[in-house]
Structure 1
Amino acid sequence: MTDPVLSISHANLSLDGNAGRVDILHDISLEVASGETLGLVGPSGSGKSSLLMLMGGLEQASSGVITALGQDLTAMNEDQLALFRRDHMGVVFQSFHLIPTMTALENVATPLELAGAKDAFARAAAELEAVGLSNRMDHYPNQMSGGEQQRVALARASAPRPKILLADEPTGNLDETNGAAIINLLFDLRDRHGATLILVTHANELAARCDRVIRLRDGRIDSPVAKAAE
């Protein structure tokens, strides 16, 4: 049996808020195999997005151990985590997080340039073409629809060829047609680059395409890991 691409052992997450310390995740343990597609589902406030942030090192666990590609994320500082994400992870958010003063091409090329890629703009152009935006490369985010902006975000996340692709409600701000297109693009990116895909979703049709589904409730894994519906 091969080592998991990502492993979480007895992870807890608590954050300080205005009303005091809030416990968000409780004793989470799971493993994700290389090339697997894992869906995280559950009601709002159940901890899905927080768990995804732990997986990406965007939140630090209060206790427990999180390893990705054999590296202990819980032992890294912020700079080390940023470099690890740059080299090994792609992250897609519900709200796109594009740089408004950059064109689509520049948005996608930026992480490649930061990683020292000599062909950053050529690769960015190829990735935008792959998501159907060859005619929008010179447009700025405010000149594009929500669906087009999410395609740019997908291209930016996948251009560095990440081994792990994390997506937080990638269809949450889109209508049904654009949402369906983004779902297809996500799985196409996974297939083309061989990435492990972990996603948070409320969309049943997206969860149904995952290899496994984990349901969370009140910061805990609510049920045994379930096989997604066929």
Structure 2
Amino acid sequence: MSEPIISTEAARLTLDGNAGKVEILRGITLEVAKGETLGLIGPSGSGKSSLLMVLGGLEQASAGQVKVLGRDLTGMNEDQLARFRRDHMGVVFQSFHLIPTMTALENVAIPLELAGHDDAFERARAELDAVGLGARCDHYPAQMSGGEQQRVALARASAPRPEILLADEPTGNLDGANGAAIMDLLMGLRDRHGATLVMVTHAPELAARCDRVLRLKDGKLDGQLDGEQDGQEAAR
């Protein structure tokens, strides 16, 4: 059996709050296989987004181990983590995080330029074509709808051909039609690039399309769900 592309062992996350230390994650142990699509669901405050951030090295685990592509993220400093994400991960947030003073093409080309690709703008244009925005390359975020901005964010995350895609409520700020379109695009990008996808979602339709769904509650894993149960639990 091949080594999992992502694994955690008793991972904990403790942050400073107004009333002292707050335990966000309480000993998470999981494995994600290469090419798998894993959904993370659970009530607000259960630790879903925090777990995703820990898997991406955007938050450092306070204790335990987090391994991605055989590398221990807990042993890296911030610069090392940033380079690791640049080279191996794409991250999609609920709130898009586009640079407002840059065009769609420039937003998508940035990670490619930072990674040293000479064909950054050609690849960026191809990714925007793939998400149906070839005609919007020169538009700024303020000139685009929410659904279009999320398409740009998807193109930006997938342009470097990452081994891992992390998505935090990718349809959370969109209406039903745009959410369904983004869901199709996200699964299409996963299939086209062969990436492993881990995402946080409350959308039952999106959870139901995952290979596996894990539920979190109070910072702990609260079981694995299958079939119709995925969508029912995500909707709660």
TM-score computed with the length of structure 2 as normaliser: 0.96
Shift of 1:191: 0.3
Tell me the amino acid that sits aligned with residue 137 of structure 1. C
Q: Which residue matches 2:159?
A: 159
Shift of 1:15: 0.1
Which aligned pairs between 1:1-230 and structure 2 lie closer than 5 A?
1-223=1-223, 225-229=224-228
Structure 2 unaligned spans of 5+: 231-236
Provide the identity percentage.
Answer: 75
* Maintained 8 Å contact 1:207/1:228: no
Shift of 1:228: 4.0
What is the aligned residue count? 229
Q: Distance in 1 between matches of 2:219 and 2:147?
A: 31
* Maintained 8 Å contact 1:213/1:228: no
Q: Distance in 2 between matches of 1:110 and 1:102?
A: 10
CA shift digits 1:143-194 (9 cap, x unpaired): 0000000000000000000000000000000000000000000000000000
TM-score computed with the length of structure 1 as normaliser: 0.98
Runs of 4+, deviation exceeding 2 Å: 225-230
Q: Distance in 2 between matches of 1:81 and 1:93?
A: 18
Specify the SS of the correspondent of 1:11.
Answer: strand
Shift of 1:19: 1.8
Q: Distance in 1 between matches of 2:35 and 2:113?
A: 26
Structure 1 unaligned spans of 5+: none
Q: Distance in 2 between matches of 1:107 and 1:2?
A: 36
The alignment's C-alpha RMSD in Å is 0.8
Q: Distance in 1 between matches of 2:50 and 2:176?
A: 25
Specify the SS of the correspondent of 1:99.
Answer: coil
Tell me the amino acid that sits aligned with residue 72 of structure 1. D
Q: Distance in 2 between matches of 1:128 and 1:39?
A: 25
